[in-house]
Amino acid sequence: MKKLLLFLFLLPLASLAQTEQFLIYHADANAKSDVESSVKKAKAEHKQVLLMIGGNWCRWCKMFDKFQHTNASVDSALSANYIFQHINYSKENKNVALLTELEFPQRFGFPVFVVLNEKGQRIHTQNSGYLEQGEGYSAEKVIEFLNQWSVKALSADSYKE
């Protein structure tokens, strides 16, 4: 009987731990502060910042997160060129002030990607639909997007003859 009671007590805790494990967005995060920290780190590492705006309710957001972590080429292109930051958009916290500053990227649906330079200036907003293929994401399209908005691609030195 004690084992049954212990099991019944621990079961909800195990479920909660599993649920927390899959959260990629956090409604209580300070998005403005997170972006500022990412910009500071990007400047120090000479990278861009890539914001992925969405929510835990978004199937395509979760799919991209899994895709990014399971595709070595995508993960490599991302980590080589960007400081990656999730920005929550949910009924609990729409981060209206930040999205207003970013010129309303939510107009493209979710997830939506926003590229900031090392000064924190928005240089591109990417509709994730263009990165999809079938019922998932295209590694080729994602890597092309990441490469086209990298510091190197935007440097005049890359185009000297």
User: Do 112 and 54 touch, CB atoms closer than 8 A?
Assistant: yes
Beta bridge partners of 116: 49, 122
| Beta strands 48-54 and 82-88, pairing class | parallel
Is 35 part of any domain?
yes
Over the stretch 120-151, which tens digit does the pLDDT of each residue have? 999 999 999 999 999 999 999 999 999 999 99
The closest alpha carbon to 48, from 113, 123, 126, 116, belongs to: 116
Is 158 part of any domain?
no
Is 56 part of any domain?
yes
Is the model's pLDDT at 31 over the cut of 50? yes
Beta bridge partners of 85: 51
Is 9 part of any domain?
no
- To the nearest 5 percent, what fractions of the chain are helix, strand and coil? 55, 20, 30
**CA triple 82-102-60, angle to 5 deg:** 65
Could you tell me the CATH number of the domain that includes residue 61?
Answer: 3.40.30.10
Provide the number of structural domains found in the chain: 1
Reported pTM: 0.86
pLDDT at 17: 44
Is 2 part of any domain?
no
| DSSP secondary structure of 75-123 | HHHHHHHEEEEEEE-SSS---HHHHHHTT-GGGG-SSEEEEE-TTS-EE
Residue 94 phi, psi (nearest 5): -90, -5
Which domain, by its residues, includes 70? 26-152
Is 8 part of any domain?
no
Is 5 part of any domain?
no
What is the rounded average pLDDT of the residues 32-56?
98
Query: What share of the chain has pLDDT > 70, as a percent?
Result: 87
Is 50 part of any domain?
yes
